[in-house]
Chain A
Amino acid sequence: MELYELNLLMMTEGLKAKKFSASEIFESCKKRIDACEPSIHALITRTDDTMPTFNENGALAGIPTVIKDNLCTKGLRTTAASKILGNWRPPYDATAWSKLKDAGSILMGKANMDEFAMGNTCGNSAFGPTMNPNDTSLVPGGSSGGSAAAVSAGYVPFSLGSDTGGSIRQPASFCGVYGLKPTYGMVSRYGLISYGSSLDQIGPFARTVRDLQLVMSVISGHDNMDSSSFSDRPHDFSYNEKASVKGKKVALVKEFADFTLDAPIADAMKRTAKILEDEGAVITEVSLPVVSKYAVACYYALAMSEAHTNLERYDGVRLGYTVKDARGIKEMFERVRSHGFGAEVKARIIAGTCLTEPTRCEEYYVAATKVRTLIAQEFTRAFGETDYILQPVTPSMPGKVGEVDDDAMKGYEADLYTLPVNLAGLPGLSFFTGYAGNLPVGLQLIGKRWSDSELLDTGIILENHLGSPRIANGGVK
């Protein structure tokens, strides 16, 4: 067994017991990246040239990691997979990354993603697509596709991504790793390049649920620099041996029953429900009529309205891609933005601008904020009746790399199972259930706000029954 194959917990324990050294881990991971990266292309920037010094007493001392390239890294190029950021080197670290660094983690690279996190294939990057390490002809999912692929292929035992409407959970499911979208406000967003600010949340990928716990215990908690991060919430992610689902209610969504699912996913739903039932949980049903019918429209209306204002700052004056021969400021802005942004981003900017125009604002943007209230209320009601909601992450298995849907809205509908969680600020765990042939199949468990640590406890119970994913082949012949 190679060192890179160790999961996070085994690595930290082995390092503590001096079974191997941090530099041996570093070299092993680096070799693995060298082997897979040509066929996976999970990283925009590699930073594993030489091993840096690190805090040897931290909780993650010597553990290699990869973070999504929309997390700012001081002095190191951060692109959000967009041409418009050029070679921007932020003069500061994102809080989540600085916490990992303080804990002794070592950065191996910045992960590929859909430009500004807009997409669910990781094919929408100015740096080209990332491939699924289980089958390189397939997409890894997105937008945090690079972060998911890196963990799946064994580059690193854990990584960070961000989830605005499923961008952690969907690639975790496609790549066969665990991914947590934490409760909104659990992890500081400072230094995360915003897409939809009220929906964005940073979270971890790992190959075991216990590893997610370890990472969450480091990155969660209040941050003065993020006014939406909560100060008075407990965030104890230590392993709970006595965790049980006995007597807990796990609900399926009534309205989702009619929707078609790919066979492996439908099968996984049945098996998982059975396991939970055998463990003493009560399988029930909740009704989410507004969510099932209006969440997709609501989500995209709000995400684009917020996104277009978040992207107004890219004008070529202070950083990134620019032009120097414009005759007027308007021409400069137009040229920078027209050439700097990719097609999907431009489409969403125009949509967001359109929805918030004075003449349409009430009809679309304000209406969407009200629909969001109804959705949040619906979840509050549902969680009065159940402890968890079990549902798919996506209705279908990953598609081919390079396949583009002609109707964008159809692609958006594939996010129905993930994005309501962001609208209501809930935690969602994407977990591995087994393989269908070569491909992993993931599902999603959703909890109440701030129930992240119990959610992970339950994830461990599921993992014990369903087994942990293996390291993907990573395109190595």
Chain B
Amino acid sequence: MYLTSEEVNEIALESRLMLTEQELAGAVKYINNFLDALQCFKELDLKDVEPFSFAEAIECPLREDKVIPFADNEAILHESEHVDGSYFKVPRIMEE
């Protein structure tokens, strides 16, 4: 066991996921099996290995600083059930 169910539950909440008891049990087993499978990395000497970023040298392409307004911001707003006037309305941010 790498992680207890309490720890897994805390991670889940950090990801804004509430798990049922059954889901939590499944997640605990899943994570621990998974972490177990990852122990194999320890067999490799990775000290001087560079982390992989892209499959070959590629540079971040840069675009000209030019304003091109998006044609249909209404279509974006239309997709939310939380739009109130021209704003997105959400419940209060501070918790009790």
The reply to whether the CB of A224 lies closer than 8 angstroms to some CB of chain B is yes
Residues of B close to A301: CB separation below 8 A:
38
Bound Cα distance A376, B40 (Å)? 18
Contact B37 A343 (CB under 8 A): no
Contact A373 B17 (CB under 8 A): no
- B1-23 CB mask vs A (1 if < 8 Å, else 0) is 00100001001111111110001
Contact A293 B58 (CB under 8 A): no
Contact B27 A328 (CB under 8 A): no
Interface residues of A in 189-208 (CB under 8 A from B): 198
Decide yes or no: A373 and B80 within 8 Å by CB, A91-B75, A308-B15, A368-B41 being known contacts. no
- B44-79 CB mask vs A (1 if < 8 Å, else 0) is 101001111111101011010000001010011001
Residues of A close to B37: CB separation below 8 A:
296-297, 300, 409
Contact B23 A372 (CB under 8 A): no
Instruction: In the complex, identify which listed stretch (A38-46, A118-126, A235-243, A330-338) lies at the interface while the others stay far away.
Output: A330-338
Measured as residues with beta carbon below 8 angstroms from the partner, the interface class of chain A is 35 or more
Partner of B41, one of A89, A316, A371, A408: A371
Contact A294 B79 (CB under 8 A): no
Decide yes or no: A408 and B30 within 8 Å by CB, A231-B61, A317-B82, A350-B11 being known contacts. yes
Interface residues of A in 253-268 (CB under 8 A from B): none
Interface residues of A in 360-386 (CB under 8 A from B): 363-364, 366-374, 376
Residues of B close to A331: CB separation below 8 A:
91
**Which of A228, A335, A449 has the largest number of chain B CB atoms within 10 A?**
A228
Contact B60 A409 (CB under 8 A): no
The reply to whether the CB of A327 lies closer than 8 angstroms to some CB of chain B is yes
Residues of A close to B14: CB separation below 8 A:
353
Contact A328 B91 (CB under 8 A): yes
Residues of B close to A230: CB separation below 8 A:
58
- A317-360 CB mask vs B (1 if < 8 Å, else 0) is 11110101011111111110110010100110111011101000
Bound Cα distance A316, B88 (Å)? 11
Decide yes or no: A337 and B55 within 8 Å by CB, A343-B26, A371-B44 being known contacts. no
Residues of B close to A231: CB separation below 8 A:
61
Bound Cα distance A230, B31 (Å)? 36
Partner of B30, one of A318, A341, A347, A367: A347
Partner of A350, one of B8, B46, B88: B8
Contact B15 A317 (CB under 8 A): no
Decide yes or no: A370 and B50 within 8 Å by CB, A322-B81, A350-B8, A351-B30 being known contacts. yes
- A281-301 CB mask vs B (1 if < 8 Å, else 0) is 000000000100110111011
Please give the distance in Å from A468's CB to the nearest CB on chain B: 32
Bound Cα distance A298, B56 (Å)? 19
Contact A407 B91 (CB under 8 A): no
The reply to whether the CB of A97 lies closer than 8 angstroms to some CB of chain B is no
Closest to B34 in A: A351
Contact B23 A346 (CB under 8 A): yes
Closest to B49 in A: A370
Residues of A close to B30: CB separation below 8 A:
347, 350-351, 408
Bound Cα distance A425, B53 (Å)? 11
Decide yes or no: A349 and B15 within 8 Å by CB, A366-B51, A373-B50, A409-B37 being known contacts. yes
Please give the distance in Å from B92's CB to the nearest CB on chain A: 6
Bound Cα distance A66, B67 (Å)? 35
The reply to whether the CB of A88 lies closer than 8 angstroms to some CB of chain B is yes
Decide yes or no: A376 and B41 within 8 Å by CB, A91-B75, A227-B60, A329-B91 being known contacts. no
Partner of A89, one of B50, B70, B79, B88: B79
Residues of B close to A329: CB separation below 8 A:
90-93
Return 26 A-B CB contacts under 8 Å, by A number. Answer: A227-B60, A293-B40, A297-B38, A297-B41, A301-B38, A317-B90, A318-B76, A318-B88, A322-B80, A332-B90, A332-B91, A334-B17, A337-B15, A346-B12, A346-B19, A346-B27, A347-B31, A353-B15, A354-B8, A370-B50, A371-B49, A372-B52, A373-B49, A374-B49, A408-B34, A449-B56
| Contacts beyond the supplied A185-B55, A337-B17, A371-B46: 12 A-B pairs with Cβ under 8 Å | A184-B55, A227-B61, A296-B37, A328-B96, A334-B17, A335-B18, A337-B16, A350-B8, A353-B12, A355-B38, A369-B52, A376-B55
Binding site for B on A (CB under 8 A): 75, 88-89, 91, 184-185, 198, 224, 227-228, 230-231, 290, 293-294, 296-298, 300-301, 308, 315-320, 322, 324, 326-335, 337-338, 341, 343, 346-347, 349-351, 353-355, 357, 363-364, 366-374, 376, 407-409, 424-425, 449
Binding site for A on B (CB under 8 A): 3, 8, 11-19, 23, 26-27, 30-31, 33-35, 37-38, 40-41, 44, 46, 49-56, 58, 60-61, 63, 70, 72, 75-76, 79-82, 88, 90-96
10 closest A-B pairs by CB: A425-B55, A369-B51, A372-B52, A91-B75, A370-B49, A333-B16, A319-B79, A370-B46, A373-B52, A367-B41
